[in-house]
């Protein structure tokens, strides 16, 4: 069997190759940006970047948590409903009580942890498939959000709105800063800590991981906590951005976050992908929605468009894994 | 049961590994039905048996991957309850599984240190130290891979993957006491098989013990001191290498005596 390191440029930039997807993503972004910029020059204005940077990081934070679950070989489809439920509950608390912002934030994260614990226990200690478990949770939380909210809940708390609407240094949206802090933390965790290494080992081959003494169940459990609490945080950011919550907040987020992860090179099979790719992917997907608005694509076309991209990403992902020749 | 064994010189020594009455079943299938075993240092045991005899199951119990339903395990004379893969490694039991237990999508360094990464403190990885030791270990294994440590293991050839698994169990592990090998020469070419047998002999010289599952009796005769034959979950015999023949061993494996 040949054993050479392929420096061939077509392998490096080939989206079907099993090597890093980042160079490809950079090219895709520039092509896309060029396309939108030509059709509507407002696309590359500072104001527009600020718009993107106010919306994209919120779904980006959800993707950061989801990515950890994907890396271990599971999936978490409940993130959208988690964000939605937390949004509704937070808005309710803010409307009806005087709790300080920090307390509400804490409650939100706590709710996320509880949801993550339930998901994690069912998937890893009872043994139910993660798709089914988190799908059930998706439905349950959605229903709960509907029951609790029954419509739109408004509140007004300037301080709270500043968490999500404020601009550091006057230009950079706060949410972008939160996102950058979290992505750097996750990147460092994955690359430089034992926990991060365990995540990759478990995702790459959970049986081998067990054979070398890793606590597979615990690793797979813990990432569910991350996923749900990040989704909860995103829910609070959403509330603070819109000064209110409706029952349908977070709808479709699981698919968007999944798209961001898969386009970013995080394989559905687990064990592969870096957060560098995820960052670039967010750049692309985040700008995509904005760009489609800029070129006036009708709303009902966008779902179709974004869904197709997810499908395409999944297909390319499966090619990248198959491209891997196994000899034994 | 006729035990033609020269146990006189081993009588007073404590076995590094002792299994007593090990039973294991999977659903209705009895994989092991009461197996006793003793391994001493500096010896090479060939574990023989037909398919389904229970050899792999026994290995997986020694390595902590399975928990026996009944029976006791003693390491260096001390009883060990709740053996798991991590604990087994700490006791100096290393394993090369039949499917190698590698991580195809991860790189060579990650594979070599899987589960026992070198750390600064409790949480942070020492990638540089691991890479340096990885290179040393690969050199000791005596195989040139012609690729960087960042190469994905899945892209290596079968023989190279075996080399990584061996390197991990023998050289990266520090000082293993017992090394279990489940069909290590299956799928290896002649040159590579011979190299492996040399490594096994070297381990014995270094005072370590090896339990070898193999279907190739030639290889077994070349390196083993003792044969242990399993059939249908039971140990049907133990023989000294000098006091038996292929014919006798095969008869024990298949059950025509």
Q: Which residues of chain A make contact with B147, given a CB cutoff of 8 A?
A: 3, 5
Nearest CA in chain B to A321: B105
The pLDDT confidence band at residue A322, using thresholds 50, 70 and 90, is low
Report the first-to-last Cα separation within chain B, whole angstroms: 11
Please calculate the CA angle A273-A274-A276 and round it to the nearest 5 degrees: 135
Please determine, for residue B51, whether its predicted confidence score (pLDDT) is greater than 50.
Answer: yes
A26 belongs to a structural domain: no
A43 belongs to a structural domain: no
The reported pLDDT for the residue numbered A75 is: 97
CATH match for B14-92+176-257 among 3.40.50.720, 3.40.50.2020, 3.40.50.150, 3.40.50.300: 3.40.50.300
The residue range of the domain holding A119 is 53-315
Inter-chain CB proximity B116 and A201 less than 8 Å: no
Please determine, for residue A272, whether its predicted confidence score (pLDDT) is greater than 70.
Answer: yes
Taking the whole predicted model, whether its pTM rises above 0.95 is answered as no
Q: Which of B61, B102, B103 best tests the A interface by mutation, with the highest count of A CBs <10 A?
A: B103
- From the list B63, B103, B151, which residue is nearest A201 (CB)? B103
A67 belongs to a structural domain: yes
Separation of alpha carbons A236 and A250, rounded Å: 11
Check CB contact of A11 with chain B, cutoff 8 Å.
no
**CATH number, domain with residue A154:** 1.10.3470
A33 belongs to a structural domain: no
The reported pLDDT for the residue numbered A2 is: 35
pLDDT digits 0-9 by tens, B199-249 = 899 999 989 999 999 988 999 999 999 999 999 999 999 999 999 988 888
Rounded to 10 degrees, what is the CA torsion of B35, B40, B43, B48? 0
Of B53, B46, B13, give the one whose Cα is nearest residue B182: B46
Please determine, for residue A15, whether its predicted confidence score (pLDDT) is greater than 60.
Answer: no
Nearest CA in chain B to A328: B158
Separation of alpha carbons A288 and A277, rounded Å: 16
Check CB contact of A328 with chain B, cutoff 8 Å.
yes
A29 belongs to a structural domain: no
SS3 B30: strand
pLDDT digits 0-9 by tens, A292-308 = 888 888 888 888 888 88
- From the list B84, B106, B124, which residue is nearest A204 (CB)? B106
Q: B157: how many CB neighbours lie within 10 A of its CB?
A: 17
- Residue-averaged pLDDT of chain A: 86
**Which residues of B sit within 8 Å Cβ distance of A?**
63, 65, 84-89, 95, 97, 99-106, 110, 114-117, 119, 122-125, 127, 145-148, 151-152, 154-158, 160-161, 187
HSE of A24, CA atoms in CB hemisphere, 13 A = 20
Please determine, for residue B1, whether its predicted confidence score (pLDDT) is greater than 50.
Answer: no
In Å, the largest CA–CA distance within chain A is 69
Nearest CA in chain A to B149: A5
In Å, the largest CA–CA distance within chain B is 59
Give the distance from residue B6's alpha carbon to the nearest chain A alpha carbon, in angstroms.
Answer: 35
Looking at the structure of chain A, the number of domains it has is: 1
The reported pLDDT for the residue numbered A165 is: 72
- From the list A18, A208, A272, which residue is nearest B102 (CB)? A208
Q: Which residues pair with B124 in a beta bridge?
A: A193, B120
List strand residue ranges (DSSP E) for A132-185, in order: 152-154, 167-168, 172-173
pLDDT digits 0-9 by tens, A133-157 = 999 999 999 999 988 888 777 777 7
Please determine, for residue B130, whether its predicted confidence score (pLDDT) is greater than 80.
Answer: yes
Task: Domain ranges for chain B, please list them.
Answer: 14-92+176-257, 106-174
**Helix %, strand %, coil % of chain B (to 5):** 35, 25, 40
Inter-chain CB proximity A211 and B116 less than 8 Å: no
pLDDT digits 0-9 by tens, B97-116 = 999 999 999 999 999 999 99
Please report where in the chains the tokens 């606590």 appear, as a residue.
Answer: A215
pLDDT digits 0-9 by tens, A81-124 = 999 999 999 988 888 888 888 899 999 999 999 999 999 999 99
pLDDT digits 0-9 by tens, A36-58 = 888 888 888 888 888 888 889 99
Q: Which residues of chain A make contact with B85, given a CB cutoff of 8 A?
A: 210-213
Inter-chain CB proximity A1 and B147 less than 8 Å: no
- Chain B contacts in chain A segment 237-256 (CB below 8 A): none
Inter-chain CB proximity B105 and A212 less than 8 Å: no
Query: What is the secondary structure of A210-278 as a DSSP string?
Result: HHTT--HHHHHHHHHHHHHHHHHHHHHHHHHHHTEEETTTTTTHHHHHHHHHHHTT--TTSS---HHHH
């Amino acid at each position: 069997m040949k054993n050479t390191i392929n420096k061939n440029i077509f392998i490096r930039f080939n989206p079907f190759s099993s090597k890093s997807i980042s160079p490809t993503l950079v090219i895709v972004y520039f092509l896309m940006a060029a396309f939108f910029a030509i059709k509507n020059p407002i696309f590359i204005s500072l104001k527009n970047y600020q718009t993107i940077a106010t919306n994209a990081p919120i779904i980006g934070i959800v993707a950061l948590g989801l990515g950890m679950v994907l890396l271990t070989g599971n999936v978490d489809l409940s993130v959208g409903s988690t964000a939605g439920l937390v949004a509704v509950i937070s808005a309710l608390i803010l409307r009806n009580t005087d709790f300080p912002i920090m307390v509400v934030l804490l409650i939100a994260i706590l709710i996320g942890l509880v949801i993550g614990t339930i998901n994690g226990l069912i998937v890893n200690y009872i043994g139910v498939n993660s798709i089914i478990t988190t799908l059930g949770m998706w439905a349950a939380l959605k229903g709960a959000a509907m029951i609790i909210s029954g419509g739109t809940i408004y509140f007004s708390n300037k301080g709270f709105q500043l968490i999500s609407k404020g601009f550091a240094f006057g230009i950079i949206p706060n949410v972008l800063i939160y996102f950058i802090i979290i992505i750097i933390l996750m990147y460092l965790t994955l690359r430089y800590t034992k926990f991060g290494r365990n995540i990759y080992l478990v995702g790459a081959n959970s049986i081998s991981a067990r054979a070398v003494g890793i606590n597979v169940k615990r690793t797979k459990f813990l990432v569910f906590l991350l996923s749900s609490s990040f989704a909860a945080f995103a829910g609070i950011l959403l509330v603070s951005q819109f000064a209110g919550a409706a029952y349908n907040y977070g709808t479709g987020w699981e698919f968007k976050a999944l798209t961001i992860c898969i386009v970013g090179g995080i394989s559905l099979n687990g064990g592969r992908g870096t957060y560098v790719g995820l960052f670039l992917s967010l750049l692309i997907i985040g700008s995509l929605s904005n760009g489609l608005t800029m070129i006036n694509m009708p709303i009902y076309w966008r779902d179709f468009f974004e869904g197709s991209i997810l499908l395409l990403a999944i297909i390319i992902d499966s090619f990248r894994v198959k491209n891997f020749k196994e000899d034994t | 049961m006729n035990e033609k064994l020269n146990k006189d010189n081993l009588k007073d020594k404590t076995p590094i590994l002792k299994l007593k009455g090990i039973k294991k079943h999977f659903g209705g299938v009895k994989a092991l039905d009461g197996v006793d075993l003793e391994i001493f240092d500096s010896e090479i045991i060939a574990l023989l048996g037909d398919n389904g005899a229970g050899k792999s199951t026994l290995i997986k119990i020694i390595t902590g991957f399975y928990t026996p339903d009944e029976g006791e395990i003693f390491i260096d004379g001390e009883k060990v309850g709740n053996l798991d893969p991590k604990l087994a490694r700490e006791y100096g039991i290393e394993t090369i599984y039949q499917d190698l237990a590698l991580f195809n999508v991860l790189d060579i360094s990650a594979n070599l240190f899987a589960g026992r990464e070198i750390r600064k403190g409790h949480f942070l990885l020492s990638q540089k130290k691991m890479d340096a030791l990885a290179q040393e270990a690969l050199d000791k294994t005596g195989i040139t891979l012609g690729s960087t440590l960042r190469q994905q293991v899945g892209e290596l050839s079968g023989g190279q993957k075996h080399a990584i698994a061996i390197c991990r169990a023998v050289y990266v592990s520090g000082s293993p006491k017992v090394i279990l090998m489940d069909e290590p020469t299956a799928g290896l070419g002649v040159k590579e098989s011979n190299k492996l047998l040399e490594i096994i002999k070297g381990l014995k010289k270094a005072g370590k013990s090896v339990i070898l599952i193999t279907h190739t009796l030639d290889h077994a005769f070349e390196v083993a001191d003792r044969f242990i034959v399993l059939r249908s979950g039971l140990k049907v015999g133990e023989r000294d290498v000098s006091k038996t023949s292929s014919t006798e061993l095969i008869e024990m494996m298949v059950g025509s005596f």
